[in-house]
Amino acid sequence: MSMKNFKDVFENYQWDDIKDKLEKVTLFEVERSLQKKSKTIEDFLNFLSPVASQKIEVMAKMTQQLTQKRFGKTIQLYAPLYLSNECQNICTYCGFSLDNSIKRKTLTNAELIVEATVLKAMDVNHVLLVSGEANKTVGIDYFLNAIKLLKPYFVNISIEVQPLSEEEYQQLYNAGVNSVLVYQETYHQEIYKEYHPKGKKSNFNFRLETPDRIGTAGIHKIGLGVLLGLEDWRVDSFFNALHIDYLQKTYWKSKFSVSFPRLRPAEGIIEPNFVMSDKDLLQLICAYRIWNEDLEISISTRENEKFRNNIISLGATAMSAASKTNPGGYAVDKQSLQQFETSDERSMEEIKNIIKEAGYAPVMKDWDAVYSGT
Ligand code: SF4
């Protein structure tokens, strides 16, 4: 008997049917869903619909209350640490794409320590390790070595790299990695191939099944998301939530987070196909929160200052700050090419102050550590 995985669930849904359903949702259905005690994926679809945007004030208020009830008035802060920009894939929206002739760089042991020291001086305790996909040079052995070197500097290490095998996720777990993030980019299977024409990433199903391997390995937290701007964000977000819904029921010991990367300018890349406004993004965040009270909601520096200031009290639970999206960006090689342009360039101190001014507490370590008092 083969193990069940998300692919089996996914195959029961059609992209065009979901698109149709979203268009047909009525205001009455949105209101009824808002009043329900426990919410299903069908309710999420209603919150996501075009007509639900008329209820944005009510939804924002509910989002604020639900987030405060579950997470308190706190925002967890973290910073990314780019390990390498080597990549064997062609992704048409990314500055690190194989066909982009940039100088490739992978941090050495000494350089990892230099970057860690700078982040530590900024009071960063939670770091997100990021790389492209270069399995031979930046594979599991590289990651395990990097984690060993970085452990003394950080309380919490998350990782966002190429999809790995279950056994490799197990090794990351044993090495003390707290969370693994992997984004499907788009759940539109045909369009996916156009954005990912070459390399391992062009295998849609292998990527789709990755969170199952992460869950089976027992990783504490799993982060999902889609690249907003590639396809219709409403339909893509429905599938992303469907994925989270399945994972939560299957790997109930793990926690889940969602991120909302909106396509940003980068060297040699395409323009967004579907532009998502700030109001759309707020609706999406509210839809996730009202549907799922336990979900962690992470907001990166891709977003602009104004949006980030406002979202502190509207559903966010984690934010990156002072981010550099190039390997060596903090100290070693400040000029190397970024994966994408960040939008909010304020320092860690400035972000902490903005959070405090909003009446929230910036948290430099993980939730679990805060709640268990360790
Ligand atoms: S998105 Fe990831 S896999 Fe694709 S080119 Fe960029 S770094 Fe490589």
Residue nearest (by alpha carbon) to ligand 1 atom 2? 132
The mean pLDDT value for 129-144 works out to: 97
The mean pLDDT value for 102-117 works out to: 95
What ligand 1 atom has the least distance to the C-alpha of 94? 6
**pLDDT tens digits for range 49-70:** 999 999 999 999 999 999 999 9
User: Of the given ranges (31-35, 171-175, 245-249, 365-369), which has the lowest mean pLDDT?
Assistant: 365-369
* pLDDT, position 266: 66
Contact 119, 139 (CB under 8 A): no
Confidence of residue 368 (pLDDT cuts 50, 70, 90): low
* pLDDT, position 120: 95
Contact 329, 82 (CB under 8 A): yes
Residue of 161, 201, 227 with the most ligand 1 atoms within 8 Å of its CB, for mutation: 201
Q: How far is the CA of 8 from the centre of ligand 1 (A)?
A: 26
**pLDDT tens digits for range 148-172:** 999 999 999 999 999 999 999 999 9
- Whole-angstrom Cα distance, residue 281 to residue 178? 27
- Whole-angstrom Cα distance, residue 97 to residue 49? 34
The mean pLDDT value for 93-105 works out to: 92
For residue 216, which of 175, 250, 171, 240 has the smallest C-alpha distance? 250
Buried b (16+ CB within 10 A) or exposed e, 283-318: bbbbbbbbbbeebbbbbbbbbeeebbbebbbbbbbb
- Whole-angstrom Cα distance, residue 3 to residue 26? 38
* pLDDT, position 342: 83
What ligand 1 atom has the least distance to the C-alpha of 95? 6
The mean pLDDT value for 352-372 works out to: 79
* pLDDT, position 267: 67
Report phi then psi at 373, rounded to 5. 75, 10
**pLDDT tens digits for range 183-217:** 999 999 999 999 999 999 999 999 999 999 999 99
What ligand 1 atom has the least distance to the C-alpha of 132? 7
**pLDDT tens digits for range 328-350:** 999 888 877 788 778 889 999 99
The mean pLDDT value for 259-268 works out to: 80
- Name the E strands within 208-309: 221-225, 255-259, 296-299
The mean pLDDT value for 303-324 works out to: 93
- Whole-angstrom Cα distance, residue 55 to residue 61? 10
* pLDDT, position 3: 57
For residue 139, which of 84, 185, 213 has the smallest C-alpha distance? 84
For residue 229, which of 286, 288, 188 has the smallest C-alpha distance? 188
* pLDDT, position 292: 98
The mean pLDDT value for 97-108 works out to: 93
Residue nearest (by alpha carbon) to ligand 1 atom 5? 97
User: Does residue 131's CB lie within 6 angstroms of at least one atom of ligand 1?
Assistant: no
Residue 240 tokens, joined? 């992303």
- Whole-angstrom Cα distance, residue 157 to residue 176? 8
Residue of 82, 83, 89 with the most ligand 1 atoms within 8 Å of its CB, for mutation: 89
Residue 227: DSSP 8-state = -
* pLDDT, position 347: 92
The rounded percent of the chain whose pLDDT value lies above 90 is 84
* pLDDT, position 230: 93
* pLDDT, position 372: 42
For residue 44, which of 61, 65, 59 has the smallest C-alpha distance? 59
Cβ neighbours for 38, distance < 8 A, ≥ 6 positions apart:
none
Instruction: Report angle CA 143, 216, 196 to the nearest 5 degrees.
Output: 60
Residue 37 tokens, joined? 């005690």
* pLDDT, position 336: 77
- Strands 255-259 and 296-299, by their bridges, are parallel
* Statement: residue 14 has pLDDT above 50: yes
* pLDDT, position 371: 47
The rounded percent of the chain whose pLDDT value lies above 70 is 95
**pLDDT tens digits for range 265-274:** 666 667 788 8
Residue nearest (by alpha carbon) to ligand 1 atom 7? 132
* pLDDT, position 226: 97
Report phi then psi at 363, rounded to 5. -115, 125
Confidence of residue 365 (pLDDT cuts 50, 70, 90): confident
